[in-house]
Structure 1
Amino acid sequence: MSSRRKILTVFGTRPEAIKLFPLVHALAEDERFDSRVCISAQHREMLDQVLEIAGIVPDHDLDLMTPGQTLDALTARALVEIGKVLDEERPDWIVVQGDTTTVMAGAIAAYYRKIPVCHVEAGLRSGDIHHPWPEEVNRRVVGSFAALHCAPTPTARDALLRENVAAGSVYVTGNTVIDALRWVTQRVGEQPALAAGLSELEARFAGKRIIGMTSHRRENFGEGMENIATAVQRLAAREDVAIIFPVHLNPNVRAVMNARLAGLDNVALIEPLDYPHFARLLDISHLMLTDSGGVQEEAPALGKPVLVMRETTERPEGIAAGTAKLVGTDADAIVRETTRLLDDEAAYAAMARAHNPFGDGHSAARIADLLAEA
């Protein structure tokens, strides 16, 4: 009988896949583990792109998404289907990352079977259960019973300790997103063709400062998205800038952005990027406008200031370090702060040169060691 520890890693979205593939690689290459992978496919197309570049073939693909599926329907399906996989695999540990519906459902399914949960990127808190929604509650739920909490920063660790999580179960590991970014940047350096798809836009916008942009948060649907589009319209009127915007597949994003921004000379609305191309976008951008969580961690690793189009962030370390700034979804505020970074060299340099607090590229190895010793 094998003495190797069986680990089932469960994820469903593109950001989870990016942040977990370094750990999946580490577990697969480590003789201490029998590593298995289950995906819910909460993001189908964008998830598959990451799996392909990372060379990961899931052992279980649940393919849970259906058109117009509600959050409660998705949660119920994920809970039941992940439960079936747990019954089949009977792992020693389940690993989840972050704060998606897949994370919460997978962790609860494990709890129901008394399987210990390792929560990667544990302890992020905005303090507002509606921002980000539903992610803030998802991660709080997992944080209430996970057996191993891999906090990316001391701030995240302290948030867990304030919630009376046992100190002996909380470890500061850094964020695996920095492992992933270093890995893919090296790959693109060795094989430039992996990210050659942006070369036409790079030529088209030569001589302009590129603003990279992402937006997809549920709490911004509706008025927030309209305000963001208004800000982009105003920024695009500047002749010295160009906006490259990979538009999320969600129709609540696409409908607004296509209606408001399509046809503007200085705006490129493009399909979602695979990971090598997104890393390239970070690299060529002067700054990032985003409501994403991961971009707040990734962009500073490449020295790019981040303006966060949200009212709160569960990554206050970036705000404290000066790598990111909250601007909300008010069009005037977005335009004002972006203009400041474009026109004030000292303000730009202060953010671009700030220390990135999110990791050193060795987080996956630390987490593997914790799983072996737990």
Structure 2
Amino acid sequence: MRIMALVGTRPEAIKMAPVTDALIARGLTPALIVTGQHPDLDPAAYGLTGEPVHRLQCQGMPDPRAHAGLVAETVAPLLATNCDLLLVHGDTSSALGGAMAAFDLGVPLGHVEAGLRSFDRANPWPEEDNRVTIDAYASLLFAPTDTSAANLVREGLSGEIHVTGNTAIDALQRVVGPLPQRSDRRPDKPKLLVTCHRRENWGTKLTPIALALLDIARSGLAQVEVVLHPNPAMADAVRLFLAEEPGVTLLPPLPHGEMIAAMRRATVILSDSGGVQEEAPALGVPLLVLRERTERPEGIASGNMRLAGTVREEIVGEVTRLLTDAVAYAAMSSPTLPYGDGHAGPRIAAAIEDWLERHLQAEERLIA
């Protein structure tokens, strides 16, 4: 039985690597499809292995729907001749394109990180639509938490649902060791680590976020470190606001290990990233989410996250509260594992092997 794993972005590669490793350990080496959405993506740099590696030339586009269509068209010939199960991860346009092609060709689909829901098509857009569509196409739905599995059950989907944990925690554990663990925050001036890249925070939404960071830096409350996104338009917009501010340090895009190290040094994190929402609770670093709602509510329930939104005054208020109220800070800085225990990859691989065996047996019965 031939398995293929499709990725297009750095986060997809990081989170798919524990799955491919676990499959290889079971003698089920998958082929890799690298779509080119992030054109400089080297899967080996993120520990993602498979054989062979098929590289497409589907670079990211301003219109994510058009990009998904391009991926679907380009990947279809591979799936038609070489694939009994396609694995995709998350909610990118690459994942959607792969899912669309698999559905059209009747190729079974496995969705890693299934069932996440914000219940708002505009936040995040197009990711919310993407994951709903991918889940509807999938034969195997690997839900990271009971909450995400319940979302899938509520929707009455036909695919098999497996609660596995999130592979982001497997990847984090590879970097820092056994989880959970406390960060290595230093006792000097507080550090506010910031990432901001989601499409819904582009354009005018960035202005109040940037002004809030200026307020915090100029107040002397914390040293602000902003990790720039590889998207040059987003990075340039951040530089326009913050490049000349002495209380702000702009960092280049960081590899996964260096990003985790920066998170562990931070006193508080301010971010709109899904991956950071998964990692911060396990590291015990309080996280304020630059969004109005989240598809990862487990971190809020554990007490490690709060929604800060995108209003200037509310962001400043939330950061100030955390950095001046020792009780509030302590309540958010105890490490927890709301997204899994670091063994999602092996659980997913075991479910895939079982499914393949049942699938093969069913085909043999039909032939007989």
TM-score exceeds 0.5? yes
Give the letter aligned to residue 176 of structure 1.
Answer: T
Match of 1:52 among 22, 45, 49: 45
Give 1:154's aligned residue. 146
Residue-pair matches, total:
348
1:276-295 superposed matches below 5 A: 276-295=257-276
In the alignment, structure 1 residue 17 sits paired with structure 2 residue 8: no
* Matched-pair contact (CA < 8 Å) for 1:98–1:120: yes
Give 2:31's aligned residue. 36
In the alignment, structure 1 residue 61 sits paired with structure 2 residue 52: no
Q: Which runs of 5+ in 2 are unaligned?
A: 179-184, 356-368
Find the aligned partners of 2:222 and 2:187 in 1 and give their Cα distance.
10
1:1-374 superposed matches below 5 A: 5-31=1-27, 33-45=28-40, 47-48=41-42, 51-54=44-47, 56=49, 59-65=53-59, 69-89=62-82, 91-166=83-158, 169-186=160-177, 207-353=188-334, 355-374=336-355
Find the aligned partners of 1:108 and 1:151 in 2 and give their Cα distance.
20
Give 1:193's aligned residue. none
TM-score by length of 2: 0.90
* Matched-pair contact (CA < 8 Å) for 1:227–1:329: yes
Greater Cα shift, 282-291 or 128-137: 282-291
Give the letter aligned to residue 240 of structure 2.
Answer: A
Listed one character per residue, the Cα deviations across residues 91-128 of structure 1 (whole Å, up to 9, x for unaligned) are 22111111010111101111111111111110000000
Change (3 A) 1:206 1:291: same
Percent pairwise identity: 40
After superposition, the CA RMSD in angstroms is 1.9
Give 2:358's aligned residue. none
Find the aligned partners of 1:84 and 1:270 in 2 and give their Cα distance.
41
Listed one character per residue, the Cα deviations across residues 269-328 of structure 1 (whole Å, up to 9, x for unaligned) are 121101110111111111110011111010111001111111110011111221111111
Listed one character per residue, the Cα deviations across residues 193-213 of structure 1 (whole Å, up to 9, x for unaligned) are xxxxxxxxx9xx982211111
Q: Which runs of 5+ in 1 are unaligned?
A: 188-201
Change (3 A) 1:296 1:329: same
* Matched-pair contact (CA < 8 Å) for 2:227–2:253: yes
SS, match of residue 132 in structure 2: helix
Find the aligned partners of 2:73 and 2:208 in 1 and give their Cα distance.
39
Find the aligned partners of 2:45 and 2:230 in 1 and give their Cα distance.
19
Give the letter aligned to residue 67 of structure 2.
Answer: L
Change (3 A) 1:55 1:120: closer
Per the TM alignment, residue 340 of structure 1 is displaced from its structure 2 partner at its CA by 0.7
Give the letter aligned to residue 14 of structure 1.
Answer: R
